[in-house]
């Protein structure tokens, strides 16, 4: 059995983590930027407005915090495409106040922009090891881990013992989105292809449970958030093959600064500043591996 099949079952199967057990936030298993401060969503809203967006779709909306902050800060219309029954219910309750400015969708729709916040890292993936001068894929067979012939979609020259975790079905996932929009805004942790041997020579597979971290194959457990680092080079090249270009690609903190988080913070009341100052610092200094890629369709 390939690791991607195991991950898919553990995360998205009938009793999978995201289907029944997901817990996000400081008291949950992990937290994301929207849980840290509404300033993240305010800045995203400002950016989308600046880009001329009216209707946007968020893929995998979590507990609805990002959507709530964007709609609170702007007059945008938002939709969430979500497959988790548990999260759908939480989103429905949290966002009911927005009535005609929010909708839940079961299929991808035409929209001005799509927003993906820590979505690609949650896709299934496979593990490859470079050993004895060749690539091998790690699989689970006959009750144990084994190596079989297999090669990842990377072009770098590996070294002995290098481990690479590769997103399964990335192109198919992205293609469905790129068909429906001219703009895609991606927030996620990850590396460029040539960075993996430097920063992640032992692979990036990990799992989170109540903020405890499990590394490597030990992450493949029930009721655990299993994740990996996406390859941004692969995302860029596929998007370009579909007529998109990278309009922005930079660390998340730099994106927030460039598009006005400090100006937004300065415009708040003294009471709001006192309440949000801690979250502002966390957004700018904690999410060090997070990057932002903004794709826009090339116009003739």
Q: How far apart are CA 153 and CA 164, in angstroms?
A: 10
- Average pLDDT over every residue of 69-73: 97
- The number of domains in the chain is 1
- Average pLDDT over every residue of 61-77: 95
Residue 29 tokens, joined:
């298993």
Q: How far apart are CA 247 and CA 182, in angstroms?
A: 12
| Greater pLDDT, 22 or 115 | 115
pLDDT band at 24 (very low <50, low <70, confident <90, very high): low
What is the pLDDT, as a whole number, of residue 20? 77
- Please say if the pLDDT value at position 31 is more than 60: no
Would you say residue 142 lies in a domain? no
pLDDT digits (tens, 9 = 90+) for 228-270: 999 999 999 999 999 999 999 999 999 999 999 999 999 999 9
Would you say residue 68 lies in a domain? yes
- Please say if the pLDDT value at position 29 is more than 50: no
Would you say residue 140 lies in a domain? no
CATH number of the domain bearing residue 55: 3.40.50.12710
pLDDT band at 19 (very low <50, low <70, confident <90, very high): confident
Would you say residue 172 lies in a domain? yes
Output the 3-class SS for 37-99: CHHHHHHHHHHHHHCCCCEEEEECCCCCHHHHHHHHHCCCEEEEECCCHHHHHHHHHHCHHHH
**Which residues contact residue 82 at a Cβ distance below 8 angstroms, ignoring those fewer than 6 apart?**
60, 61, 88, 91, 104
Structural domain including 247 reads 32-124+168-190+230-297
Would you say residue 207 lies in a domain? no
Which 8-state DSSP code applies to residue 191? B
Asked whether the beta carbons of 78 and 70 are under 8 A apart, the reply is yes
- Average pLDDT over every residue of 134-150: 96
Would you say residue 290 lies in a domain? yes
- The CA-atom distances, in angstroms, between 275 and each of 1, 41, 227, 259, 268 are 49, 16, 31, 21, 10
Would you say residue 19 lies in a domain? no
Residue 190 neighbours by CB distance under 10 Å? 24
Asked whether the beta carbons of 32 and 101 are under 8 A apart, the reply is no
For the chain, percent of residues with pLDDT exceeding 90: 85
- Please say if the pLDDT value at position 26 is more than 80: no
Would you say residue 23 lies in a domain? no
pLDDT digits (tens, 9 = 90+) for 199-229: 999 999 999 888 789 999 999 999 999 999 9
Asked whether the beta carbons of 28 and 17 are under 8 A apart, the reply is no
Residue 87 tokens, joined:
């999260």
């Amino acid at each position: 059995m390939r690791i991607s099949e195991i991950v898919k079952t553990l995360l998205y199967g009938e009793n999978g983590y995201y289907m029944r057990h997901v817990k996000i936030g400081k008291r949950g298993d992990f937290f994301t930027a929207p849980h840290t401060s509404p300033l993240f969503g305010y800045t995203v809203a400002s950016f989308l407005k600046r880009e001329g967006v009216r209707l946007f779709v968020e893929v995998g909306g979590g507990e609805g915090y990002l959507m709530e902050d964007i709609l609170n800060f702007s007059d945008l219309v938002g939709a969430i495409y979500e497959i988790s029954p548990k999260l759908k219910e939480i989103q429905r309750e949290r966002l009911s106040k927005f009535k005609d400015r929010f909708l839940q969708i079961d299929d991808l729709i035409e929209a001005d922009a799509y927003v993906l916040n820590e979505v690609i890292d949650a896709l299934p993936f496979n593990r490859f090891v470079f050993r004895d001068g060749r690539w091998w894929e790690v699989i689970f067979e006959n009750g144990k881990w084994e190596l079989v012939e297999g090669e990842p979609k990377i072009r770098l020259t590996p070294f002995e013992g290098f481990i690479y975790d590769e997103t399964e079905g990335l192109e198919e996932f992205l293609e469905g989105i790129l068909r429906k929009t001219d703009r895609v805004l991606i927030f996620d942790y990850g590396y460029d292809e040539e960075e993996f041997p430097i920063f992640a020579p032992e692979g990036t597979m990990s799992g989170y449970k109540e903020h405890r971290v499990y590394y490597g194959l030990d992450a493949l457990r029930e009721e655990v958030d299993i994740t990996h680092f996406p390859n941004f080079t692969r995302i860029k090249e596929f998007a370009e093959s579909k007529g998109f270009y990278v309009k922005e690609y930079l660390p998340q903190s730099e994106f927030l600064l460039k598009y006005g988080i400090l100006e937004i913070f300065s415009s708040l009341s003294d009471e709001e500043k006192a309440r949000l100052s801690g979250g502002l610092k966390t957004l700018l200094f904690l999410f060090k591996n997070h990057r932002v890629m903004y794709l826009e369709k090339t116009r003739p």
